[in-house]
Amino acid sequence: MVKRNHKPIIELRNVWKIYKMGEVKLAALSGLNLEVRKGEFVSIMGPSGSGKSTAMNMIGCLDVPTKGHIFLESKDISTLSESNLAQIRGRKIGFVFQQFNLIPTLSAAENIMLPMIFQNIPKYERVERARKLLKMVDLGGRIYHKPTELSGGEQQRVAIARSLSNNPEVVLADEPTGNLDSKTGRTVIDFLKKLNREEGKTIVMVTHDESIAKKADRTEYLLDGKIVKTLKNSVKKRK
């Protein structure tokens, strides 16, 4: 068990995201405050349109807020340029998407190596790490398979392996089980859990599935761009 640190690794302070649709202004996030500590597994729930994905994009440095501040390891990222954000995404954050989002022309191993290429990691190291990661997600025999030759669950496991390729602090999972049947979904969640417990990775997961959300240490409920309820899950105690 990794020792939990009480210093927040992610901190959103009064974050607003306002989209202009012609004359109409639409607030996807309206003063969102959120803290995630290192080593935590947090799930975010909420109906569609509640701002879950926008919040995810903010944490993942894919987007910048209209107003407010986002701190990643105490560094304010809300004003950084796209090039700097890309660097942070590449090094500190791993993404797992609902649609897996693997590059179809590349093999499983090559998909895992791609984030490492963007960080100029030498080839022998890339190959070595990709092999290890594939083994970790129980896909050691699928190195040369293209995404189309893999099942949904396998693709998502490759995606999880890819999210870890640069050994990031934070793994962001946006509806990771949304495109999987419940049984496959559970194995994927188990992998995320394992990552959290054994590797001490901070995990933030968006989902609308209550049973999946409960696997996290804590569930935040989002409505109209704000946290409306926080629930501490007691999965571990129940065991």
Question: Based on CB atoms, which residue is closest to other proteins, 58 or 219?
Answer: 58
Sites for other proteins among residues 180-219 (CB under 8 A): none
Least separation in angstroms between CB 126 and other proteins = 9
- If binding is defined by CB under 8 A, does position 147 make contact with other proteins? no
Sites for other proteins among residues 94-113 (CB under 8 A): 95, 97, 101-106
For residue 96, what are the contacts with CB-CB under 8 A and spacing of at least 6?
A: 156, 159, 160, 163, 171, 172, 173, 174, 176, 192
Question: Based on CB atoms, which residue is closest to other proteins, 6 or 105?
Answer: 105
Least separation in angstroms between CB 63 and other proteins = 5
Evaluate whether 143 touches 107 at the Cβ level (below 8 Å). yes
What does the block give as tokens for 199?
Answer: 């590797």
Residues 95 and 89: their CA atoms lie apart, in Å, by 9
Residues 175 and 213: their CA atoms lie apart, in Å, by 10
Pattern of binders to other proteins over 42-81, x per CB under 8 A?
---------------x--x-xx------------------
- If binding is defined by CB under 8 A, does position 179 make contact with other proteins? no
Residues 178 and 149: their CA atoms lie apart, in Å, by 20
Least separation in angstroms between CB 105 and other proteins = 4
CA 88 from chain centre, in angstroms, equals: 14
Evaluate whether 51 touches 32 at the Cβ level (below 8 Å). yes
What is the binding site for other proteins (CB under 8 A)? 57, 60, 62-63, 82-83, 86-87, 89-91, 95, 97, 101-106, 114-115, 117-120, 123, 162, 166
